[in-house]
Amino acid sequence: MPNVLFKRGLQNALDSVAIQDGVFYLTTDTNRLYADINNKRELLNQTVQIVSSLSELEARSNAWTTTATKSAHVNDFYYIQGKNILAVWTYDEDKETYQWS
């Protein structure tokens, strides 16, 4: 299994970057997430929100107080600067709970 690496940069610079399995790219101008998988670059998500800390991430999800609001954010991606963490808001059907993965 390859190592995983996150890189950040402008969308238009992505075409000049060689494909390398196990690398994720977060575009700083369009907030899109790409990954190089099996020698192909795949768009994983149209929007990735950027937050500065884990506490800011928690504050975002704590503000989602209704089931409808929590549900609306399922599969949202958040990148935590300084921690190099990519979090995804998910719903666990077995536990019937919303959580960060």
pLDDT digit string (tens) for 2-33? Answer: 577 889 999 999 989 999 998 999 998 888 99
In angstroms and rounded to an integer, the radius of gyration of the C-alpha atoms of the chain is 15
What is the full DSSP assignment across 38-58? TTEEEEEES-EEEESSHHHHH
> Cα dist. 95→30, 63, 68, 72, 88 in Å?
34, 21, 17, 18, 17
Indicate the pTM of the whole model: 0.70
Task: With a cut of 90, say whether residue 83 has pLDDT above it.
Answer: no
